Structure 1
Amino acid sequence: MSLKFNLKYVILTILLFLTEVLIATVLKDIFFVRAYLGDVIVVILLYTFVKSFIAVNNEKLILAIFIFSCMIEIAQYFNIAEKLGFQRGSLMYVVIGNSFSWIDITCYAIGCLLLYVIIKLNSLNRK
């Protein structure tokens, strides 16, 4: 693992972040998109953000992101946002979340699996 700026991943991070904002604001009434697609995309967003600045093993990073996402989801079970004093509707309250869901964990797993497949296919194409 080493520090390394990667413009390609910075651009992907910005595009994915804008997609998440679009989902949260404009597409929020489309149930499938808001409830599932946003959670699949968020792990990919985390991946591209880390890869923007750090050269790290892809598989280890994907696993770390999945574990991190599960930890956040478990923290939601214990209402961590409220216990930390964040007000309902505040940015941090929304970022941390407020309700535990096995479906969210499934979406995180799907996003991580999708990342893994894309990386493997990309490495096969380079050979």
Structure 2
Amino acid sequence: MLKFRLHYFIATILLFITEVLIALFLNDEFIRPYVGDFLVVILLYCFLRSFLNTAVLPTALFVLVFSYTLEVLQYFNLVELLGLQQYKLARIVIGTSFEWIDLLAYTLGVLFIVYLEKTKTARRWNRSGSQLS
């Protein structure tokens, strides 16, 4: 079940750096809230696939359900319920405001993952000389 994959780990690091740069230097109304949410599910997926030998779809769906769960917990003010509102890192990681459109950003991010993985698999099949139906 455990298998280290360097390419996913490198992607995780690059996505993490991108997310940190977005959080530190952008305070707009599109990239930070929506592109950040789109990228964070890809980051989580790459992190899991860096260490776990799991199939694409179950991993992607787990990330999506996890992201939805965190978003719903934001609706119920989880940060305040846990008494963590004074900790900036907790507010950033857990989030503080529920947005329906965030669910869409997560969904699009996961669909993008599945598309990329399917495309990568198709290219691998084509390189090996096999025919795809």
Report the counterpart of residue 107 of structure 1 in structure 2: 105
TM-score of the superposition, structure 2-length normalised? Answer: 0.90
Change (3 A) 1:90 1:30: closer
Partner residue of 1:52 out of 46, 50, 53: 50
CA distance in 2, matches of 1:4, 1:76: 33
- 1:1-127 alignment to 2 at 5 Å? 2-26=1-25, 28-127=26-125
Does the residue aligned with 1:87 lie in a helix, a strand or coil? coil
Consecutive unaligned residues in structure 1, runs of 5 or more: none
C-alpha RMSD of the superposition: 1.0
TM-score of the superposition, structure 1-length normalised? Answer: 0.94
**One-letter amino acid of the counterpart of residue 29, structure 1:** N
Give the CA deviation at 1:31. 2.3
Give the CA deviation at 1:75. 0.3
Percent of pairs with identical residues: 46
Larger Rg: 2
Give the CA deviation at 1:30. 3.1
- Larger mean CA deviation between 36-45 and 5-14 belongs to 5-14
Deviations 1:61-96 (A, max 9, x none): 101110110000000000001111102452012110
Consecutive unaligned residues in structure 2, runs of 5 or more: 126-133
CA distance in 1, matches of 2:63, 2:106: 9
CA distance in 2, matches of 1:49, 1:76: 23
